């Protein structure tokens, strides 16, 4: 990434997104804090949790699990495709989340 930044004089900010979100989910705004695998913090208005598969128990941030996202950036569902909605979306603590 430093090669791209130096060669083209542009700033690259690692981020994470999903096809069910309208915008990015996380962003790393300070390149000096870059560490391998880091994609930054949730963008404003976006809530992210790591959930233990099968139990839906919230896990510590430094463990592997499913990524659950809630916010206005998560789409409401697939148009006329309830099967896809059932596979991708569910409710967690009363909030519709994408995983």
* Residues 3-17: tens digit of each pLDDT: 655 676 666 666 776
Distance between CA atoms of residues 15 and 36, nearest Å: 13
pTM above 0.85, yes or no: no
Q: Check the CA dihedral 10-39-74-77 and report its sign.
A: positive
Domains of the chain by start residue, with CATH? 2-98 (2.30.38.10)
Backbone dihedral angles phi then psi of residue 82, each to the nearest 5 degrees: -65, -35
Confidence band of 80 (pLDDT split at 50, 70, 90): very high
Residue 99 pLDDT: 43
């Amino acid at each position: 990434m430093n090669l791209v930044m130096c060669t083209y004089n542009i700033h690259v900010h690692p981020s994470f997104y999903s096809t069910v979100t309208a915008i990015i989910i996380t962003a790393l705004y300070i390149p000096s804090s870059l560490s391998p695998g880091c994609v930054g913090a949730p963008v404003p208005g976006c809530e992210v949790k790591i959930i233990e598969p099968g139990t839906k128990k919230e896990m510590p941030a430094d463990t592997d699990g499913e990524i659950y996202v809630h916010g206005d950036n998560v789409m409401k569902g697939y148009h006329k495709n309830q099967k896809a909605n059932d596979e991708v979306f569910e409710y967690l603590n009363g909030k519709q989340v994408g995983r």
